[in-house]
Structure 1
Amino acid sequence: MTRLLFTTVLLNALFLALLMPYYPWIPWIAAEAVLLCGLFAILPDGTGKRLCAAVVGGLYGMLAFFALSDLVVRESLGRPFNLYLELGVAGPVFDQMHGNLGIPLSLTLVALLLATFLGLAICVSRLLLRTGSGVPRGAAMTLTALGVVTLGISLISQPFAGLSAARTAAHQVRLAIDTHQSTASFRQHLEDNSAAVQSTPLAGLGETDVILGFIESYGISAVADTRYGPLIRPRLTQMEQTLADAGLHIVTGRLRSPVQGGQSWLAHTTLLSGQWIDTQLDYDIFLASDYPTLIDDLGATGHDTVAVMPAITSDWPEGRAFGYNRIYHSTTMDYRGPALNWVTMPDQYTWSWFQRQIRERADHTPVFAEVALISSHAPWVPILPVLDDWDSIGDGETFNRWKGAGEAPASLWRDPERVRDHYARSLDYALNVATEYAKRHVDNKTLLVLTGDHQAAPLITGDDASRDVIVHVISADPTMLAPFVGGGDQEGLRGFRWGAHPHSDQQGPSMASFRPFLHQAYSPPRIPVKISASDTIEK
C-alpha cells in the first residue's frame, strides 16, 4: 500500500511537470496520474500490462518533449510550440545551434535530450508496472474510483485538479487545426488575388538606388527598455547629428513584425510582399504562388535587383523564387576574415563589399538591394570596434586580429545579464556602422531604409514587449522622405517623424503596410515638396 501511495505521488509530480509552460497555473493533482495508478493496480501482471505501460510511457515521453519545447519556444520566439509548424524549421534551428555551439556540442546536446525523454518514458512505464504487486484489490478499486472523481473535479475546479497530459495533447491538436485553417485561408487569398495583382513600377524612385537594410533584432525595446535605452538613445542622437553634418536627412518610425526572436525570413517576406506572413507554412505557400513583391515592383521600374545575404551558408532555392537578378551569400562575398561564431562576417565588411562590388559597378543602372545585417544576431559575441579606415577593409583579412576574440557563447549565456549587455552593444555597433556607411555613400539619388526584422527573444525583451521594430529612412534629398511624414494633402506612414528617434508610446502599423505605402507614395510621378531645415529636426 505504501508503495502504491509513493508511486501515485511520484507520477502525479511527473504529470504536473507537463504544465510548466502554463506556470504559475499548476493544480495540485494531475487527474490522469491518479486514474492510471488505479487502473494499473487492477490490471493483472503479464504481457498485456507491460505493453500498456510501454505505450503510456512512450506517450508521456512525447508529451514531455512538447512541454519542454513549449518552454524553449516561448522564451526564444515569443509564441507557443506548434508541432504543425516546427517540423518545417528543424533544419534552421540545428544550423543555429551548431553555429553557436559547434557540431560536437550540438550533437551531444541533441543526444542528451533524446536520452532524457527516453529515460522519462522508461521511468513512467516502470512506475506503472510497480503498482500491481502486493496491492489489495480493494485499495486498487478505491484509487481508481478516486481517479474518476478527480477527473470530474478537474472539469469543475481546475485550481485543485487538472488534466495535464490531456491538456498538453489537446493544445497541440487545437494549434494544428487552427494553423491548418488559417493556412488554407491564406492559400485561397493568394489564389484569388495573384492573377489580379500586378507588379507596380515606382516611378518616383526611378533614378534612385533603394537599399533595404535589415538590422537583426533591432526592436523597439532597444530604446523603450530601460536596460538598453541608455546606450541606444544616445547612439540615435549621434546618428542624427552625424547625418545632418553630412547633409543627410532622416525620418524614423515603427512597424509591427510578424515574428519575434527568430525566423527573420518571415519578416523580410511580409515587408517585401505586403502580406502578413507569420508561419513557415504561409511562407512556403507564398513562395509557390505568383504573387508579386517589392522586388518585382522595382524590377519593373528599371532597377537591378540584388540580395546580399551573408548569413546564408548553403544553397538557397527560396531566394531564387523571389526573382532577384543576383543573390550573394557568405561563400560568394570574397570574405577572407574569421567567422565570429554564428555571424559569418561583420556588418562593416558587408557594407564595404556591397559598396565596392554592387553600387560602384552599377554602370548608371539604379540598384535595389536587400542587405541582411547580422552582427546583432545572437550569440552577440564578440563585439567588434568600427574601423575608421574603410579603405583598409579589402577582403576582410584585417578582421583576423579578432579571430577567437571574446568568450565562448556557451560561457556567456550562463549569465542572462551579460547576454543582455552584449545584445545592446551589438546593436550599438550595427547602428554605428550603418551611420558611417550612410555618411560616406548616401546622396540625393539614394533611399536607404534601415529596419529591424524583429524584436529579440523574450529573454531579452520580457514576455509582454511590443513586437514593433524601428525603421529609419535616410536620403540627402528631403523631398524623397516627405511622403513618410505626410503634410498638405499627403498622408504619411502612421507614426513616422523627422529625426532618428521613434515615438516611444505610439504603436506602429503592420510591416505588411510598407509596400502598399510605397505604391501610394512613389507610383505616380513624385511632386517635389519644399522642406525647411527646421522640419527635419522635429522630435
Structure 2
Amino acid sequence: MTPIHSLRFWIGLPLALFILNFLLTFHNVWPTPWIRYPNELSIELAILVLLLAGYAEWVRLPGKTALFWFTLLLLILVLGRYADVTSPALYGRPINLYWDARHLPNVAAMLITVASPWLVLVIITATVLLLGGLFGLLRGCVGILWNGFEPTLTRRLLAAAAAGVIALFAVGKASQKLATEYWFSLPVSPVYTGQISFALEAMLGAGRHLPPSPPLDSDLGRLQGEDVLIIFIESYGATVFNNPIFAERLAPSYEQLGSAIEETGRGVASAFVTSPTFGGSSWLAHSSLLSGIELHNEGHYQLLLASERETLVSLFKRQGYRTIGLMPGLQKAWPEGAFYGFDQIYNEASLDYQGPAFGWWHIPDQYSLAKLHELELKNQDRAPVLALFPTTASHIPFLPVPAYQPDWAQVLTSEPFPPEALQDSLAKRPEWFKLGDAYVTAIDYELTWLTGYLGEWAPEDALFVVLGDHQPSANVSGDRASWDVPVHVISHNSAVLNALVEVVLRPD
C-alpha cells in the first residue's frame, strides 16, 4: 500500500502539522516555565510548507540533509518562542541576548551554589532529555511532512492549504473589516532578527549616547556634615505594598521600623520612584542614582564608565566627605569601581566575614553594616561619610536568609548566631515555583536589621536613603507589575526632609 492510501498516513500528517503548529504558537502559563495551547496558527509554518512544496514540485524532493537542517531550523524557532514567551512571565521583561548572555555563567553558578546537588543533577539531566526529545519529536513530525511531499496529490493539497492560511493572514492585515490576522500567533523569526539587529547596533555603537548630566554643584549645606548612607535593598519593589498578602505579612516589621524612627527622634519621607531596570541588573539602578542619568541597558552603563561624568561620589568628596562602597556581594575584582573614585571599597574579602555562609551571597547584610560601623562610623573624630551599600540577602532565590542577631557585637564574631537559629536558617530552601514566601522572608530580614541599627547603633546625625534597586522578578511581583520601587529618607534633619517633601517626595 502506498503512503497516500495508508490510513496511518492520513492520521499522521494532520497530527504532525498540529504538533508543529503548536510548537511555534504556544503561550506561557504565567508565572511558571510551563506552556499552554493557544488555539492560534503559525504564519511561519505555513510559509515554510508552501516553500518546500513548491521546491518539491518544480525542482526535486528535498533529501535527508535538507530534512536535518529543516528540523534544526524548527528547533531554533521553538527555543526562540519559548524564550520570548517565558522571559516576561518569569523576569518581567523581554530577553536581551546581547547583554543578558554574558551574565548567564554567574547566574548559573549562583543557582548551583544555592540549589541542592540532586536538584542541579535533575535539572541538567531533564534539560538534556528535553532537548533530545524535542529534536526527536520535530524530526518525526518533519519526516511525516516530508513523506507528504512525495505524492503529487498530497504535495499540492499541502501547498493549497498553506497558501490559504497565508491568504487569511494577508487579508486580515489588509482589511479593517476582517480580523483574521488575530487567528495567528506572533511570528518567532522577529525575535531573532530583533536580537541580531540590537547586537549589531550595540557592537557598532549606533545610537548610543548619554543624556546630559544634572548639575552637581551643591555645597550640601542642608546636610550640615551629616553622614549619608545610601542603602539599596535588593529586589525591594512596590510589590511589598501592592500585593495584599505581602503587605499583611510585612506590616508588623514596618510598624517596628516606624517605632524605631519615632523613638529616636527621626523623621521619614517616603515615595515610589521608577527604577531603570526590572528583576535584575541592579548596577543600572545604583549607577543611575549616583550619576543622575537613567541607564536602561548595559550599553549606557559602559558609556558612563568610559566617561568623566560627575557623580554623587565626586560631589561629596569635593565637600570633604569620605566616600565608601560597602559591597558584600563583590566577590571578584571590580575595575569599573575606579570610575566612581570611592576612597574605600569593602568587598567580600576585605569585610573578613568568619561566620557561616548563606548560599551564594556569603555575608549577612547585618554583618556588613556592623562592620562598616566598626571600621568607619563609630569614631567621632573623623570626616563625614557617604556610604553606598547594596544588600544581598533579598537576592533571588531569597533563601537561605540569616537570622537577625539582636547583639550587634556578637554578629562580628566567628559564631554570630545561636546553633539552633543557624540550623533553622540554613534548612530553609526556596520553592522554585513559589518564591513569594521566600521573598517576604528576605525582605522582612532586611527591615528587621535596619530597625535594629536605627534603634541602637546608628550615628545620631546620620541620614539614611533606603530604596529598592528594582522589583523582584515577575513570578514574584505579578503580571504587568510596574517598575516602581519604594524610597525612604530617614533623618533627624527636618530641613532636608521638608525640602524633599516639597520638591520631590510626598510624606508617607
If the length of structure 1 is used for normalisation, what is the TM-score?
A: 0.80
2:183 aligns to what?
160
2:210 aligns to what?
189
2:227 aligns to what?
209
8 Å contact from structure 1 (residues 251, 472) kept in 2? yes
8 Å contact from structure 1 (residues 40, 132) kept in 2? no
2:176 aligns to what?
none
Q: Relative to 1, partners in 2 of residues 1:404 and 1:233: Cα closer, same or farther, differing over 3 Å?
A: closer
Which of the numbers 458, 464, 477 marks the counterpart of 2:493? 477
Q: Secondary structure at the match of 2:166?
A: helix
| 1:46 CA displacement | 9.6
Q: Relative to 1, partners in 2 of residues 1:392 and 1:437: Cα closer, same or farther, differing over 3 Å?
A: same
Q: Relative to 1, partners in 2 of residues 1:372 and 1:37: Cα closer, same or farther, differing over 3 Å?
A: same
Q: Relative to 1, partners in 2 of residues 1:477 and 1:33: Cα closer, same or farther, differing over 3 Å?
A: closer
2:26 aligns to what?
20
Separation in 1, partners of 2:252, 2:295: 34
Separation in 2, partners of 1:108, 1:201: 58
2:193 aligns to what?
173
Deviates most, 330-339 or 398-407: 398-407
2:478 aligns to what?
462
How many residue pairs match? The answer is 483
8 Å contact from structure 2 (residues 50, 163) kept in 1? no
Q: CA deviation digits over 1:313-369, x for unaligned, max 9? A: 222222233322221122221111111123322221111111002223585111111
Which of the numbers 82, 88, 95 marks the counterpart of 1:74? 88
* Unaligned stretches of 5+ residues in structure 2: 30-35, 173-179
Which of the numbers 353, 360, 363 marks the counterpart of 1:335? 353
1:303 aligns to what?
321
8 Å contact from structure 2 (residues 280, 470) kept in 1? yes
Q: Relative to 1, partners in 2 of residues 1:176 and 1:481: Cα closer, same or farther, differing over 3 Å?
A: farther
Q: How does 1:27-46 map onto structure 2 within 5 Å?
A: 27-34=39-46, 36-37=48-49, 43=56
| 1:222 CA displacement | 0.8
Separation in 2, partners of 1:406, 1:12: 49
8 Å contact from structure 2 (residues 276, 296) kept in 1? yes
Separation in 2, partners of 1:313, 1:362: 31
Q: CA deviation digits over 1:441-497, x for unaligned, max 9? A: 4445311111111111121121122221111111223223221112xxxxx214x21
8 Å contact from structure 2 (residues 28, 89) kept in 1? no
Which of the numbers 284, 296, 299 marks the counterpart of 2:302? 284
1:247 aligns to what?
265
1:88 equivalent in alignment to 2:102? yes
1:519 aligns to what?
none
1:99 aligns to what?
113
Q: Secondary structure at the match of 1:242?
A: helix
Deviates most, 34-43 or 168-177: 34-43
8 Å contact from structure 2 (residues 229, 386) kept in 1? yes
Deviates most, 116-125 or 275-284: 116-125
Separation in 1, partners of 2:246, 2:271: 18
Q: How does 1:342-361 map onto structure 2 within 5 Å?
A: 342-360=360-378
2:161 aligns to what?
146
8 Å contact from structure 2 (residues 268, 488) kept in 1? yes
| 1:211 CA displacement | 0.6
| 1:3 CA displacement | 2.4
1:493 aligns to what?
504
Instruction: Look up the equivalent residue of 2:189 and give its one-letter code.
Output: A
| 1:381 CA displacement | 2.3
Q: CA deviation digits over 1:141-169, x for unaligned, max 9? A: 1112211221221332134345x6xx112
Which of the numbers 248, 253, 278 marks the counterpart of 1:230? 248
8 Å contact from structure 2 (residues 24, 42) kept in 1? no
Q: Secondary structure at the match of 2:481?
A: coil
Q: Relative to 1, partners in 2 of residues 1:335 and 1:400: Cα closer, same or farther, differing over 3 Å?
A: farther
Separation in 1, partners of 2:182, 2:38: 7
* Unaligned stretches of 5+ residues in structure 1: 487-491, 503-539
If the length of structure 2 is used for normalisation, what is the TM-score?
A: 0.84
8 Å contact from structure 1 (residues 218, 453) kept in 2? yes
Q: How does 1:292-441 map onto structure 2 within 5 Å?
A: 292-360=310-378, 363-399=381-417, 401=419, 402-403=421-422, 405-406=424-425, 412-414=430-432, 416=434, 419-441=435-457
Q: CA deviation digits over 1:257-296, x for unaligned, max 9? A: 1222221111111111111112222222222222222112
1:128 aligns to what?
142
Q: Secondary structure at the match of 2:303?
A: helix
Q: Relative to 1, partners in 2 of residues 1:295 and 1:362: Cα closer, same or farther, differing over 3 Å?
A: farther
Separation in 2, partners of 1:78, 1:429: 24
8 Å contact from structure 2 (residues 358, 402) kept in 1? no
1:50 aligns to what?
64
Q: Relative to 1, partners in 2 of residues 1:54 and 1:321: Cα closer, same or farther, differing over 3 Å?
A: farther
Separation in 2, partners of 1:425, 1:133: 57
8 Å contact from structure 1 (residues 78, 261) kept in 2? yes
Q: CA deviation digits over 1:165-195, x for unaligned, max 9? A: xx112134236546876995763335xx47x
Q: Secondary structure at the match of 2:476?
A: helix
Instruction: Look up the equivalent residue of 2:232 and give its one-letter code.
Output: F
- Give the CA RMSD over aligned residues: 3.3
Q: Relative to 1, partners in 2 of residues 1:198 and 1:242: Cα closer, same or farther, differing over 3 Å?
A: closer
| 1:214 CA displacement | 0.8
Q: Relative to 1, partners in 2 of residues 1:39 and 1:400: Cα closer, same or farther, differing over 3 Å?
A: farther
Separation in 2, partners of 1:115, 1:292: 52
Deviates most, 375-384 or 241-250: 375-384
Deviates most, 375-384 or 210-219: 375-384
Deviates most, 202-211 or 461-470: 202-211
Q: Relative to 1, partners in 2 of residues 1:431 and 1:132: Cα closer, same or farther, differing over 3 Å?
A: closer
Separation in 2, partners of 1:68, 1:211: 42
Q: Secondary structure at the match of 1:187?
A: coil
Separation in 2, partners of 1:484, 1:255: 13
Q: Relative to 1, partners in 2 of residues 1:20 and 1:300: Cα closer, same or farther, differing over 3 Å?
A: farther
Instruction: Look up the equivalent residue of 2:183 and give its one-letter code.
Output: F
